[in-house]
Amino acid sequence: MKWIISKVLILTDYTPTCLLRSELLDNLLPKTTTFFGYARTNMTVFQLREKCHSYMKVKPDEQKKYEEFWKLNHYVSGMYDSQNGFEVLNNELRKYEQNYQVAHRLFYLALPPSVFESVTVHIRNVCMGDNVVIWRRSNLPYRSLSGQRDGSLRFGNRIFGPTWNRDNIASVQITFKEPFGTQGRGGYFDEFGIIRDVMQNHLLQILSLVAMEKPASCHPDDIRDEKVKVLKSIKPLVLEDVVLGQYIGNLESNDSDAQLGYLDDPTVPAGSNTPTFALAVLRINNERWDGVPFILKCGKALNEQKAEVRIQYRDVPGDIFDGKAKRNELVIRVQPGEALYIKMMTKSPGITFDMEETELDLTYGYRYKHLKLPDAYERLILDVFCGSQMHFVRNDELSEAWRIFTPLLHRIEKEKIKPIPYEYGSRGPKEADEMAKSNNFLYYGSYKWVKP
């Protein structure tokens, strides 16, 4: 007998339902899908819709499907530390599942660490009935890499493979920058800080994809096997290889938000030492990467929004250009605007023999003008519906990631390490640039890629 499956997505806390809009527009959602939001805030679906509306650009011909999407949404308010709310949630779910022999429930948890244990316990005790199949996935919230996704850039092109090693690469920098602060949610952010929020998961997962050996196949387990091998080759981080920062207000700015520092947020505990910026240098102790620093950098209230991988090649040996030749770089840009470009030196136009920096550029929005590029979380949730585990963290990956970062986090908390102040809208602490330079990453400041 063919089972009719009802998939129920449980959205908690601040996870925006609007991330799934494109799945509906592209007819990728199973017809029996229903969405339930569960959070502490007492609000209606209409209020949730109003909250999300500004982020959802709806074209005139999409209005009908937009309305259909919201009809699939429901909301239950309840506490995270009380079983009563989850009993109400479970009863509501059953109303929409009673016509099906089997119901598949996907729980998508966007929660602060302090309530994760209680929520998962209540879900286990209350929300798993006899006719319910639970889809369990560990969320891997890194932004999918254009070109690098599934290893196609490196393993599908002969031109890159032979130079992807310590003989040719000077350093690798993986960056995630945000041009805004905590925006009134500092109390939530203060529970974990920038290392747990971005570096330990987003950036470390990208590092493992960049550095892994060629897998036996494209099967998810083969890929994750190679990622784990990379993580096992990294020693635990020490404080001496880390720069921590916390943003302060820029009183000269015309932006009222920029005039406020992290500690000016009324939801942040007074005197908090929680870092809003971190740079860490990791080293992979294997034959391919021995001696190549991997620099992870992330922060809030910086000078731009950017997420990218920057692979910087070694200096040209036997320089005949009197030091004018700058390093080649392969850049995988995730945002703003997915792109892949190679920074290179060429002769400038004209009769003189001058050199300038330019690029070979694949900007996805320019090359694929008529295609919609899905959001990373749209891809992630669609992968769940399709049963693909390629972009999800496996238990041994998670264990290795915490092995690398836990000693550092414990020391920061035990010794109450004070972060270095940096101005809102700056590049971050100058000590971070100095550490990157001392680890073979050269920042010239003379070149900026311009999105076409």
Active site amino acids: 202
Sheet with 73-77, strands from edge to edge, namely 73-77, 34-39, 5-12, 102-108, 132-135
**Exposure string over 336-369, b if 16+ CB within 10 A, otherwise e:** eebbbbbbbbeeeeeeeeeeebebebbbbeeeee
Q: Which tokens hold the place of 342?
A: 């190679």
Cα distance between residue 51 and residue 313, in whole Å: 45
Report the candidate in 392, 363, 358, 387 with the shortest Cα–Cα distance to residue 377: 392
Report the candidate in 377, 198, 200, 365 with the shortest Cα–Cα distance to residue 276: 198
Rounded to the nearest angstrom, the gap between the alpha carbon of residue 129 and the centroid of all alpha carbons in its chain is: 33
- What are residue 139's DSSP bridge partners? none
Q: What is the DSSP letter of 284?
A: B
Report the candidate in 20, 39, 33, 138 with the shortest Cα–Cα distance to residue 93: 33
Q: Give the 3-state secondary structure of residue 172.
A: strand
Cα distance between residue 295 and residue 302, in whole Å: 17
Rounded to the nearest angstrom, the gap between the alpha carbon of residue 430 and the centroid of all alpha carbons in its chain is: 24
Report the candidate in 404, 392, 402 with the shortest Cα–Cα distance to residue 144: 392
Write a three-state SS string for 374-430. Answer: CCHHHHHHHHHHHCCCCCCCCHHHHHHHHHHHHHHHHHHHHCCCCCEEEECCECCCH
